[in-house]
Chains A and B, each alone.
Chain A
Amino acid sequence: MKFKALSGGERGEGFLWISRVAVFLSVFLLFFPQASPTRITSLIGKNVSLFTSAVSYTSLTSEMGRALSKGWLSYFSVICLYVGAIIMLLGIISSVVAACTSLGNLKLKRLGAPFGLGGSIGVSAGLALIFIAYLQVSETSRPEKVEPMFPAGYFVYLVLGFLMLVSAVAIMIILPKAEKEEKYYMEPKYKLFLMFLPFAMLCFVFAYLPLYGWRYAFFDYSAGGTLSAENFVGFKWFTMLFENDATKADIVRVLRNTLVMSGLGIATSWLPMAFAIFLNEIKVGWFKRIVQTFTTIPNFISWVLVYAIALAIFSTDGFINTAFGGNTNYLMGNSFIWLKMLAWGTWKGIGWSAIIYIAGISGIDQQLYEAATVDGAGRFQKMWHVTVPGLLPTYFVMLLMSVANVLSNGMDQYFVFQNAQNTSTIQVLDLYVYTLGITKGNIPLSTVIGMVKSVVSVVLLFGANGISKAIRGESIV
């Protein structure tokens, strides 16, 4: 059956390949604003891809409000554009179905062929609608405001749509009728792959596609602006990190905060292990359980809640001041911020981090303890010479991971504890990137910093992994 399935489909194989490639490209380009056929006026944001145009009317029209109300643009043409984008998206989806079935036997291919035809007609119809919208837009009364343009992406999709249409028609004609008794069949390897495909797409869209945003690092871009040859600035933002005094001072300060806080974290990374070892010395079962339960809770509340607790305990009208008298707000001010942050981090995380060591202790061979007892080792000697060495491999892995994460302390904790007085010492890299990019809108510079951070982090991680491999013969990633 398998053999027959292949030979039956061979006649249209060339066209099938053309349509598969065209469909793949049209799906891929869906997410790239540069390849969008919908950008027929400069009033459509430079960050709007074909996908955006089809799924989000608000993003498509976000900058058109004034033009629409003044009548420079007619609602009809915008709706035309929007509907065109939707029909294109649906057409592409239909073509994807056809491309998927084309991996099966003849009967499946025949099943999918009409979808391919319908899909390519849909793409063509969508392109036609967009062209109508363009014709209308180009007749606007205020061309200097609306700036009608014919997007390059239109030609790309025109070519792809043409290829899809031709190959779909050819497939419809060429593919022989399947025999009546033939059953739908697809080889398991393709079946499994097709089941996996939607998730691969999601992964691509949310994890790989953002990398394309790194291009902002090379442009002089402000929100809503454009990326084009005129504002291509090369490595300006990179050199600015080193040459602009204000920026340089900021970076040095933020790096200092980041490294100090990560360094404190690394310097105290043995605490959870000590916690576990000492907890193990508690022989009263219920007490041990209570301790473990309550010390783990803080790990499961958010940093916002930690801040809420900090307010309740340390603010001017908090517990400390009401119970012991006084009128100090311990949360304001700039003193000992690093240590305070370390303390909160430890309070939140130590019970949880200790669990892995507690489990590690129960995994240590009891005979080692018995042997140590026979050899006359006391309590502390057993802790030091049996338990600690037993936990060291785990500790080593944790240590390497925290070294690899030295630049990523996250922003939640520092964001919530940040206030006007302590910004200069609390701001870590992640928080700085957020403030610079989202709050102040300096997208290129914050992208550059994020980029450098990502690259350094990956290098550190693989460095740590290399060390681990060399020393323990095991990798950590």
Chain B
Amino acid sequence: MAKTKQEKLDAKAEKKYYRYHKKKTRITFGDIAFNVFDYGFFGLFTILCFFPFYFLFINTISNNDLVQKGQITFFPKGLNIDNYIAMLHVSDLGNAFLVSIARTILGTAVMVLATAFVGYLVTKKEMWGRKFWYRFLVITMYFNAGTIPWFLNMSMLGLTNNFLAYIIPGIVAPYNIILVKTYIESIPGELEESALIDGAGFFTVWRKIIFPLSKPILATIAIFGAVGHWNSFTDSLILMQSAPEFFTLQHRLYIYLNTSSNLAQVMSTGGSSASNAAASMMNQKVLKYTISMVTVIPILIVYPFMNRYFEKGIMLGAVKG
């Protein structure tokens, strides 16, 4: 069968395309140079991001004397985990760890529940004054009164030197509410309508239908909230001035980084004689490194599992409505 004119033209175009393609696949000097540079740069930068954590880690599991002499640079020597065990005896560190864990879990849970609920409420067109109230929430993202009025306000509310100061102010998070609202609006409305017609109340609809359906977005904001809580430092610094028992782990770490006590002094109260002996071997440098590791390990552990949510989160942020 003879080829039609069109088919001939197509074949010609295809040939032309492959000719260019071939040209492209031919490796030029510029390509090699670029690849070397590109891979080299990213390889180096990755090491730059990874090495500090590795360096801290090998110093905490090596022989403390060698660490003190600065002989641990690339590989650990004299492996042991005594330093981490000694950490258990530093009472204010354990306390700070508990405070950080408590605020992370409690604060995140409360924030996510509230955000899920408010996010649902502001999608309801029937609500009295919905537009006004939604703006009332959203506007707060764009201004703040400043550190000092905020601090005075917190102290007026009795939230200084009070653990609740970590939890309550974070309950209403406007940015997260926007994300959840946008997400809920993308859920088909029929599900909810049929439930409402069947006589379910708004709260039941939220609990049984909307909440389960919005789990993906809730997971994302939960992770961001949790990281924020874990890393939070200034609120502890400003609000807990006379309540050291509520210092967060980050705050404790900051204090340790800026003091020059060794662990024996830190542990002067309590601790067995055996642990005191271990502690006296532990110098200031190791102490700092170990506390840093204790603070960063929870993040490093959850990070691989959370990675995909992180990326989803930033994309959601980009399309906020």
Contact = CB atoms under 8 A, between A and B. Distances in A.
Interface of A: 31, 33, 47-49, 51-52, 55-56, 58-59, 188-193, 195-196, 199-200, 202-203, 205-214, 216, 278-279, 281-282, 287, 290-291, 293-298, 300-305, 307-309, 311-313, 317, 319, 321-323, 347, 351-352, 355-356, 359, 373-374, 376, 378-380, 394, 411-412, 415-416, 430, 433-434, 437-438, 443, 446-447, 449-451, 453-454, 457-458, 461, 477
B280 to A, nearest CB: 19
Nearest to A447: B148
A456 B180 CA distance: 30
B152 A317 contact: no
B90 interface: no
Given A192-B121, A291-B46, 14 more contacts: A58-B161, A189-B128, A195-B117, A196-B133, A206-B169, A282-B39, A300-B310, A304-B254, A312-B56, A313-B52, A317-B285, A321-B70, A355-B314, A437-B151
Interface string B54-70: 01100100000000001
Given A437-B148, A477-B142, A192 B157 contact: no
A308 B288 contact: yes
Contacts of B232: 302
Contact of A451 (B146, B161, B307): B146
Given A193-B127, A291-B46, A319-B55, A411 B234 contact: yes
Contacts of B43: 287, 291
Given A309-B292, A351-B49, A373-B24, A213 B172 contact: no
A270 B148 CA distance: 34
B299 interface: yes
A146 to B, nearest CB: 23
Contact of B155 (A59, A212, A282): A59
Is chain B's interface secondary structure helix, strand, loop, or mixed overall?
Answer: helix
Contacts of B288: 308, 311-312
B152 A213 contact: yes
B71 A322 contact: yes
18 contacts: A47-B152, A59-B155, A206-B153, A210-B146, A216-B149, A298-B49, A309-B56, A313-B52, A317-B285, A321-B70, A322-B70, A347-B48, A356-B315, A359-B315, A415-B234, A433-B146, A443-B148, A447-B148
Contacts of A430: 147
A48 B158 CA distance: 9
Contacts of A300: 227, 231, 299, 303, 310
A281 B38 contact: yes
A321 B55 CA distance: 13
Given A52-B158, A196-B121, A214 B145 contact: yes
B20 interface: yes
Given A193-B129, A438-B147, A454-B146, A373 B114 contact: no
Contacts of B147: 411, 430, 433-434, 437-438, 446, 450
Contacts of B21: 373
A53 B230 CA distance: 31
A329 B231 CA distance: 26
A189 B253 contact: no
Nearest to A319: B55
A301 B299 contact: yes
A296 B38 CA distance: 18
Interface in B201-228: 201-203, 227
A318 B202 CA distance: 59
Contacts of A210: 144-146, 149-150, 152-153
B9 interface: no
A332 to B, nearest CB: 13
A355 B137 contact: no
Contacts of B314: 352, 355-356, 359
B24 A216 contact: no
Contacts of A200: 133, 136-137
A50 to B, nearest CB: 11
A192 B124 contact: yes
B73 interface: yes
Given A203-B136, A374-B20, A195 B121 contact: yes
B50 interface: yes
Contacts of B156: 31, 33, 47-49, 51-52
Nearest to A430: B147
A183 to B, nearest CB: 12
B43 to A, nearest CB: 8
A457 B142 CA distance: 8
Nearest to A306: B52
A438 B158 CA distance: 17
A219 B300 CA distance: 48
A454 B285 contact: no
Nearest to A197: B133
B55 A308 contact: no
A319 B121 contact: no
Contacts of B194: none
A295 B44 CA distance: 11
Nearest to A56: B158
B225 to A, nearest CB: 13
The listed residue with most A CB atoms (<10 A of its CB), out of B152, B231, B253, B299, is: B152
A312 to B, nearest CB: 5
B158 A312 contact: no
